[in-house]
Amino acid sequence: MKRREFLQRTGWFVVGASLVGLPACSDDHGNSPPPMDGQEPEAKGTYAFPQGVASGDPRAASVVLWTRATRTSGDAASVTLRVEVSGDSAFTALVADRLIAATADSDFTVRVLMTNLAPATSYYYRFTAGQDQIIGQTRTAPAANADVQVNLAWVSCQDYSAGHYGAYRQLLVDDDARPAADKLHAIVHLGDMIYETRGDGFQGALDDNFQVITLKNADGSDRLVPAFPSGGGTGASGNFARTVDDYRHLYRTFFSDPDLQAARARWPFIAIWDDHEFTDDCWQSQANYTDAQTLDEPSQTRRVAASQAWFEYTPAQLTGAEGAVGVDSQAKDFAAVTVTDAAFTAPDADNFVAEANNKAAVGAITIYRSFRFGKHVELVMTDERSYRSDHAIPEEISSQPGFLARRNVLPLPLVELLDQGKTANGGNPPPKIPLGSVTIDNPRVDSPPGTMLGAAQKAWWKATMKASDATWKLWGNEVTMMRLRIAAAESLQIPQDLVISADAWDGYASERAELMTYLKDQGIKNVVLLTGDIHASFAGVVYDNFDVPSPTPVACELVGAGVSSNSLFSFFKLATDGQPLSALVTVDATSVGGAKFTENMNLLLRSGPLAAVTYQQTLDVNTANTQAIAANPHLKYVDTNTQGYGYAKISADKVEATIVTINRPITAASSAAGPGVKRAANFTIPKDNPAGMTDPVFTGTKPFPLG
């Protein structure tokens, strides 16, 4: 009872369904909680559900329901809610009917774990307060032995002020047009559900000329995040969320979007976090806003606040969650802890900082978990922030002149050397490393190799991948696994290979090779990574080791664009303005009928810098291709200037996937129509043959240089 009382104070309830069905209440009762003795029924409009409804973590016999209920008067008193679940939209076949309470302790959010449900079944649910009501729809997963096709979408990166959430509206429109067998069963959200920053430099979208503009919502209001309740933190980072109320404020703002609300009311979401649910490019409880460990960098109190708000606003089952047969689930509900922002100590042998406050902050919640969808799908969701080690090249080095950005466009040999730590050079790492015209001490000479997953999660991942007998193992993977290389070109003053992002798996190549070699050695087949984070679209093959002469294909990766965030191309376009690299990123091709800002970056990644600079000089793709090399031969698809979503149909013998690029969502769409599809790239991945992944088949306009 003590645990139950604690959970209910955090808005967490468990309700067992009656599969025989309960008699539905008649309309005479108003479908509302009864008034207290001596009180008049409350008027309609007394209560509101400003963030809509949602469901999440569907399993064969359970799903989590969510809402936030408030009094329109602003009164902080608890709200009595009636939650009903039915097998039909008319609510004539109730399987659950329960009174619960939304309280200020959980920011008036409630999460209801519905158990004893039937597999592969659509349910309708509604929350009622007084005369006010909201309705949602959800669906359970098929039974583990069901030989059925599974249809999933995946999304990420929804910066509120950078774009509208038209990708969700397009999802709704597209799904309405699909045949019944292909309609979506669930949405996988790979993180950046919110962004923790606001204010100058962080709010605003880019127009067609890459100028910052303020978007307007459908009602004419500015699409900006209001000031933080606490005022937020300030410093080199601008204005960032600092307290639990600040993070709650972000969820309330982001979840007010009508397109997101419509999608959350239609389908169950399976969510994991990336960095912006806490702080940009974070690792463990450490921020990266400045170049050294100054006072605002160790952020244990913010980590706990962010975790609490995520737990309150995400319909996820953690404690008690099922996993692959024979593998113990390690997922764990949030539990409040008291920490201070203490300086980090040196990492331990597993590259985890065991300083007491960091350990407590990270340990307050565990969110990695897996899901089974019938006979053919095991969905494995990892947490790639809480246990990862520091970036290979410390920011105090990568912020020096000669580097484009702190964690982007970094020298591949240096990144890999420092990632290997004390294991580099056969266990004899160089004590000094060259840095431009000087030599500095190797900062990783005594460090363990870098890690993205951490020791415990890595062991769980391996055990889950090996134990699952599902045909396909889908990995909900936040950051890009495939190498994204800018090839060296001495004539262009690019003396060595560069990596696009050392915050992705390219910055943790030692562990990438370990995991992918494990798949090969254990004979684990049919692994497909669903990836977000990078605000671009890629597809291709993942090798066991990208650094050996003859690598073995072991998996395929599908990288979907962000929902609304400014694209990877736009970041590089702005970062290289006025610099020699600019021509490798964008070219004005209007004189030959092309775009003013042609995405030459696509050609750079496909065919290398000489091809890209040749196009800049000639504006002729055929001539550029005479200088092409296999810059990233594993890539099947490159589109760096996109927003949209991904969709996959998984069956016994193949995965059919579509990466959808929408028209730029800088205008609020009508409620009945999405922003429209600019292009869709379609892929087929055959069973037992990752190298057999097809080249894209397009509908709509092809991206440069294919179009």
Q: Which of 329, 277, 330 is nearest to 304 (CA)?
A: 277
CA angle 72, 75, 79 (to 5 degrees): 80
Peptide bond before 495: cis, by omega within 30 degrees of 0?
A: no
Q: Which of 14, 22, 6, 1 is nearest to 100 (CA)?
A: 14
Rounded mean pLDDT of 641-663? 98
Domain 1-35+44-140 and domain 145-398+470-569+636-707, same fold? Reply is: no
Do the beta carbons of residue 504 and residue 536 sit within 8 Å? no
The reported pLDDT for the residue numbered 668 is 85
The reported pLDDT for the residue numbered 539 is 98
User: What is the identity of the amino acid at 668?
Assistant: A
User: What is the identity of the amino acid at 188?
Assistant: V
Do the beta carbons of residue 331 and residue 379 sit within 8 Å? no
What is the distance between the alpha carbons of residues 470 and 143, in angstroms, rounded to a whole number?
12
SS (H, E, C) 599-642: EHHHHHHHHCHHHHHHHHHHCCHHHHHCCCCCCCCCEEEEECCC
Q: Which of 82, 7, 172 is nearest to 670 (CA)?
A: 172
What is the distance between the alpha carbons of residues 11 and 65, in angstroms, rounded to a whole number?
11
User: What is the identity of the amino acid at 584?
Assistant: L
Instruction: Please report how many Cα atoms fall inside a 13 Å half-sphere around the Cα of residue 556, on the Cβ side.
Output: 28
Q: Of residues 640 and 20, which shows the higher confidence score? A: 640
User: Could you count the other beta carbons within 10 Å of the beta carbon of residue 227?
Assistant: 13
At residue 437, the 3 state secondary structure works out as coil
In the chain, what percentage of residues exceed pLDDT 70? 93
Pairing mode, strands 79-86 and 93-102: antiparallel
Please give the CATH topology (third level) of the domain spanning 1-35+44-140: Immunoglobulin-like (2.60.40)
Q: How many residues does the chain have?
A: 707
CATH classification number, 145-398+470-569+636-707, choose in 3.30.70.270, 3.60.21.70, 3.40.50.150, 1.10.3720.10: 3.60.21.70
Q: At what angle do helices 300-313 and 356-363 cross, to 10 degrees?
A: 10
Q: Is the pLDDT of residue 436 over 80?
A: no
Q: Of residues 209 and 25, which shows the higher confidence score? A: 209
Q: At what angle do helices 509-521 and 412-420 cross, to 10 degrees?
A: 70
Q: How confident is the model at residue 12 (pLDDT cuts 50, 70, 90)?
A: confident
DSSP 173: H
Rounded mean pLDDT of 213-225? 93
What is the distance between the alpha carbons of residues 620 and 436, in angstroms, rounded to a whole number?
35
At residue 521, the 3 state secondary structure works out as helix
Q: Is the pLDDT of residue 114 over 50?
A: yes
The reported pLDDT for the residue numbered 8 is 59
The phi and psi torsions of 582 (rounded to 5 degrees) equal -55, -40
User: Could you count the other beta carbons within 10 Å of the beta carbon of residue 659?
Assistant: 26
What is the distance between the alpha carbons of residues 651 and 183, in angstroms, rounded to a whole number?
14
Q: Is the pLDDT of residue 240 over 50?
A: yes
- Please report where in the chains the tokens 């959808």 appear, as a residue: 660
DSSP 518: H
The average confidence (pLDDT) of the chain is 92
CA angle 285, 273, 261 (to 5 degrees): 135
At residue 592, the 3 state secondary structure works out as helix
The reported pLDDT for the residue numbered 91 is 96
- The strand pairing partners of 126, in sequence order, are 84, 135
The reported pLDDT for the residue numbered 609 is 97
Instruction: Please report how many Cα atoms fall inside a 13 Å half-sphere around the Cα of residue 568, on the Cβ side.
Output: 26
Pairing mode, strands 12-16 and 109-115: parallel
Q: Is the pLDDT of residue 357 over 80?
A: yes
Residue ranges of the domains in the chain?
Answer: 1-35+44-140, 145-398+470-569+636-707
Q: Is the pLDDT of residue 19 over 70?
A: no
Q: Which two tokens stand for residue 522?
A: 């254990």
Rounded mean pLDDT of 560-570? 97
What is the distance between the alpha carbons of residues 618 and 589, in angstroms, rounded to a whole number?
10
User: What is the identity of the amino acid at 696?
Assistant: P
Sequence-ordered alpha helix ranges (H) in 195-290: 244-254, 258-266
The reported pLDDT for the residue numbered 373 is 98
CB-based burial label for 525 (10 Å; 0-12, 13-18, 19+): middle
- The strand pairing partners of 558, in sequence order, are 530, 539
pLDDT digit string, tens, across residues 178-197: 999 999 999 999 999 999 99
pLDDT digit string, tens, across residues 39-63: 567 899 999 999 999 999 999 999 9
DSSP 62: -
User: What is the identity of the amino acid at 299?
Assistant: S
The reported pLDDT for the residue numbered 371 is 98
The reported pLDDT for the residue numbered 298 is 86
- The strand pairing partners of 685, in sequence order, are 655
The reported pLDDT for the residue numbered 703 is 97
Q: Which two tokens stand for residue 447?
A: 């460090």
Q: Which two tokens stand for residue 254?
A: 């982001």
Q: Is the pLDDT of residue 174 over 90?
A: yes
The reported pLDDT for the residue numbered 671 is 66
Longest dimension (CA), the chain: 86
Q: Is the pLDDT of residue 25 over 80?
A: no
Structural element, H or E, at residue 573: helix 568-576
- Please report where in the chains the tokens 């290997």 appear, as a residue: 420
Lowest mean pLDDT among 287-291, 363-367, 530-534, 608-612: 287-291
At residue 381, the 3 state secondary structure works out as strand
Instruction: Please report how many Cα atoms fall inside a 13 Å half-sphere around the Cα of residue 233, on the Cβ side.
Output: 21
Q: Is the dihedral of CA 394, 399, 400, 404 positive or negative?
A: positive
Q: Is the pLDDT of residue 138 over 90?
A: yes
Q: At what angle do helices 258-266 and 166-177 cross, to 10 degrees?
A: 40
pLDDT digit string, tens, across residues 670-687: 667 889 999 999 999 999
pLDDT digit string, tens, across residues 71-89: 999 999 999 999 999 999 9
At residue 133, the 3 state secondary structure works out as strand
DSSP 406: S
Q: Is the pLDDT of residue 288 over 90?
A: no
Q: Is the dihedral of CA 278, 280, 282, 285 positive or negative?
A: negative
- Provide the Cα torsion 582, 584, 585, 586; round to 10°: 80
Pairing mode, strands 212-213 and 122-129: unpaired
Rounded mean pLDDT of 120-132? 98
Q: Is the pLDDT of residue 36 over 60?
A: no
Rounded mean pLDDT of 428-441? 89
Q: Which two tokens stand for residue 282?
A: 């974070």
